Amino acid sequence: MVKLGQDLDLEVVAEGVENAEMACALQALGCDYGQGFGYAPALSPQEAEVYLNEAYVDGAAPVKARG
């Protein structure tokens, strides 16, 4: 699925990423983004804002730079 998305010039999001091992494997395949309990549990909008702000500060935010 990652290859298909790449071939169609799309950004690929993996859902259901449960742990760091799975995230690393997806990253090795060239997957652009991931979401799931491996990153964080479901959060309220306010909790998500705090989580992302803290992750940006310590460099752990699971996002890639846009450009």
CA atoms of 41 and 12, how far apart (whole Å): 21
The predicted structure's pLDDT at residue 40: 77
Task: Give the residue among 20, 25, 22, 26 at the shortest CA–CA distance from 12.
Answer: 26
Q: pLDDT digit of tens for each residue in the chain (67 aa)? A: 999 999 999 999 999 999 989 999 999 999 999 998 887 788 899 988 888 888 777 666 555 554 4
pLDDT at 43: 87
What pLDDT, on the 0 to 100 scale, is given for residue 53?
83
pLDDT at 63: 55
Q: How far is the first Cα of the chain from the last one, in angstroms, to the nearest whole number?
A: 24
Q: Is residue 39 part of a domain?
A: yes
Q: Residue count of the chain, please give it.
A: 67
Question: Domain span at residue 7?
Answer: 2-58
Q: Please tell me the total count of domains within the chain.
A: 1
Using a cut of 0.75, tell me whether the model's pTM lies above it.
no
